[in-house]
Structure 1
């Protein structure tokens, strides 16, 4: 129904993308998105080793013959993962689409380009998007302030950040942050985006490999039920508002707080237990403001097709009727 530079670039049917989510973007979810005509991204660092990533890619390839990609998030660390090895696994696997996030993908671009891989870099500001274009990225995913995860420090919502980025760039822009339905897709396309990328909405699907309690929380929650943490450390993160997130904010507000004072509360191991056991107060977990627009837990196929058909009806129906002769 919709043909954009992104659908053409990645060879997908619909301009609907499932972003890479730590511990969530595994073969079952990614293949379901691909089979529905969208684009899903495996999360490379969800896999404990490069060899495990190779196995997960191969497993996904047995579940779909349609395009899918791999997310490689590059973060500063005292003991960083073997990013070069993960990148080589992606290249060797034959995957042709990569979503990068965190630091600049520049160190990997030559190898990706030589392998014919298209790269979309996730950014939270126009200045970073321009840098991604400069280093050779094929597309940019721009995160508005509504997004789950790390929305940057500028606090600019999608309604302003998205068209600003479109105005500044020549390469196609993918909208992220606050998008969950056909209305969001229609709005993003109207603002110049070539697709939408969603994380929180795909958490609320049958195929998402998380405990049912988390999906129920998304249904119960509203746009008010997220919490910004790490503001003090200029590494802002948006998570679901639970007792752990509120405790983290309380500690941050103390004068001499250091990250070590909250490190145990926000550990990845505790967050993993939330997803696995359904104990929603055991740790922090990511959720965007778009959870306020989640009213059901459909299959991925139903969700993608509904988003596209609703957007098409808005563009061809309701908006067309507003134009006077």
Structure 2
């Protein structure tokens, strides 16, 4: 792994590790130049320099924020809007075939000159397209930021670095973080138990992040799980993180590809209404996840949380736009085109749903989060 030591800068964001990006992998895009569709126009004022961290320097971001790759909710519109606003937009490609992967990567690149990346779940039980195929497609489409979860990024680091790319690895422990850095990973995503969707850790974000920061002190650490506003971002920067990874909050943007009933449930939820389980396992077995409680979850709990013969296990509760049936316990996220009892499907959300209260365009949300973060850090001075 290439890298430099933290430089000890005493600006507000010393909370997030500061370093020179000169010898780190950098993205291959021309940053800040608008494209023919409008491109990167939402640069922040000079006050944003107070949020410079090793992550923003490494990826040439304006704010240390990452829009998490929230499954089928991700799309070029969302990732590009986030990238245009100066944060890192992400696409989830694990469940896309080769043609779909190329299409979303190319379309996102057409929409923005900002920085975006892709996330790949390594676990072979989760998918049919090999990780190597996804990487090749994305490299050929010019993608240069790759994150990996639920598996080891090590076999792919060299190839991505050879193309000038940057590798992020999601972890749930300090030991996993050290192993990833030893393999050459450039940045660590420390995902706490509070996170929505599929969850790698059984440790909460607050104790996990400083453990990981201490374990890999020369590597930018991105905190994930339970973060939905500038107070949370400021908190993890103070813990030593170099950035924050937000998923649930970005479900409440018009660009996110989620069914309106799903989005409304996120907005209405309290912090106590999520459930951590392995319930929705058709399509990805033995993968813990956090969802909002619904009738499917309630009936399963009332039945004693059985692993087999679960209530309604043979039910079809929805169908796609082309009429494909969707079963009750599939791991499918509720996208806009679904018809039927979509609220019975997995409503992936983290405990931060309790502080997600309004719908904002993604670019506006990035600006608001950045402003809130500066205000939160000011209060600690």
Q: Same fold (TM over 0.5)?
A: yes
Q: Equivalents in 2 of 1:147, 1:78: separation in Å?
A: 19
Matched residue, 2:65: 16
Displacement after TM superposition at 1:252 (Å): 6.3
Matched residue, 1:290: 352
Partner SS, residue 194 of structure 2: coil
Q: Which runs of 5 or more residues in structure 2 are unaligned?
A: 1-47, 315-326
Return the structure number with greater helix share.
Answer: 1
Answering whether residue 319 of structure 2 is matched by residue 319 of structure 1, we say no
Q: Equivalents in 1 of 2:72, 2:197: separation in Å?
A: 13
Answering whether residue 350 of structure 2 is matched by residue 268 of structure 1, we say no
Q: Equivalents in 2 of 1:42, 1:143: separation in Å?
A: 18
Displacement after TM superposition at 1:314 (Å): 2.2
Q: Equivalents in 2 of 1:286, 1:84: separation in Å?
A: 27
Matched residue, 2:87: 38
Deviation digits for residues 95-120 of structure 1, max 9, x if unmatched?
11111111101221221111111001
Deviation digits for residues 279-318 of structure 1, max 9, x if unmatched?
44331121100000012111112211111111112223x2
Matched residue, 1:206: 254
Matched residue, 1:105: 153
Matched residue, 2:165: 117
CA distance change for structure 1 residues 221 and 20 in 2, over 3 Å: closer, same or farther? same
Pick aligned residue for 2:212 from 165, 176, 194? 165
Partner SS, residue 58 of structure 1: helix
| CA contact 1:31–1:68 (8 Å) conserved in 2 | yes
Answering whether residue 371 of structure 2 is matched by residue 309 of structure 1, we say yes
CA distance change for structure 1 residues 252 and 81 in 2, over 3 Å: closer, same or farther? farther
| CA contact 1:274–1:283 (8 Å) conserved in 2 | no
Task: List aligned pairs for 1:238-257, cutoff 5 A.
Answer: 238-250=290-302, 253-254=305-306, 257=308
Partner SS, residue 311 of structure 1: helix
Matched residue, 2:323: none
Q: Equivalents in 2 of 1:108, 1:250: separation in Å?
A: 44
Displacement after TM superposition at 1:265 (Å): 3.0
Equivalences, count: 315
Matched residue, 2:44: none
Deviation digits for residues 101-143 of structure 1, max 9, x if unmatched?
1110122122111111100111112221121111111001011
Displacement after TM superposition at 1:247 (Å): 3.3
Q: Which runs of 5 or more residues in structure 1 are unaligned?
A: 321-325
Answering whether residue 167 of structure 2 is matched by residue 144 of structure 1, we say no
Matched residue, 1:323: none
Pick aligned residue for 1:85 from 101, 123, 133? 133
Matched residue, 2:76: 27
| TM-score, normalising length: structure 1 | 0.89
Q: Equivalents in 1 of 2:337, 2:157: separation in Å?
A: 33
| CA contact 1:141–1:173 (8 Å) conserved in 2 | yes
| CA contact 1:229–1:245 (8 Å) conserved in 2 | no
Partner SS, residue 146 of structure 2: strand
| CA contact 1:251–1:262 (8 Å) conserved in 2 | no
Pick aligned residue for 2:106 from 44, 52, 58? 58
| CA contact 1:125–1:152 (8 Å) conserved in 2 | no
Q: Superposition RMSD on alpha carbons, in Å?
A: 2.5
| CA contact 1:150–1:238 (8 Å) conserved in 2 | yes
